[in-house]
Amino acid sequence: MNVTEQRENALRAELFALSRDIAWTHQEIFRHQTMLRTQLANLRSEQLSQRIPKQELFLASAKVTERILRDLGTRLEDLKDKRSSKAKEFVKIKASRETLERMRQEAQIEHTRQELRTEQKMFDERAQIAFARGQKQAARSL
């Protein structure tokens, strides 16, 4: 059972790490999207003569940012898939551990009941022997 608990704790830690990575990836996506929006807003506010050279630079950097966003999106989907499969495995392990604990408790209860039955049987046998001896002695004294 200790192994099951250790596996459950390990999966819990893996789920936590995956969730942290997902949150970080969301932040990175948001950061890059915000950066693009800010740059675009800045370009809109520029005069046409100053905007053209900056727009060329923006379009070149936008391609790189687009690739980064696509990679981050792929990474995000992979992390979500991993988290989903780990969550399913965690649920199975936890259910297995809970079942084992319940079975162990039931076995302990049954063992205790069996011990009580055995003790009661021994007391009954001793009482019968004592009664029989008492009857035998009473018969001798008559």
| pLDDT at position 28 | 97
- pLDDT interval class at 1 (50, 70, 90): low
- Token pair in block for residue 4: 């099951």
Topology of domain 2-141, per CATH? Helix Hairpins (1.10.287)
Domain positions in the chain: 2-141
- Report pTM: 0.70
| pLDDT at position 50 | 83
For 52-108, write each residue's pLDDT tens digit: 888 888 888 889 999 999 999 999 999 999 999 999 999 999 999 999 999 999 999
- Residue pair 29/73 in contact (Cβ under 8 Å)? The answer is yes
| pLDDT at position 114 | 97
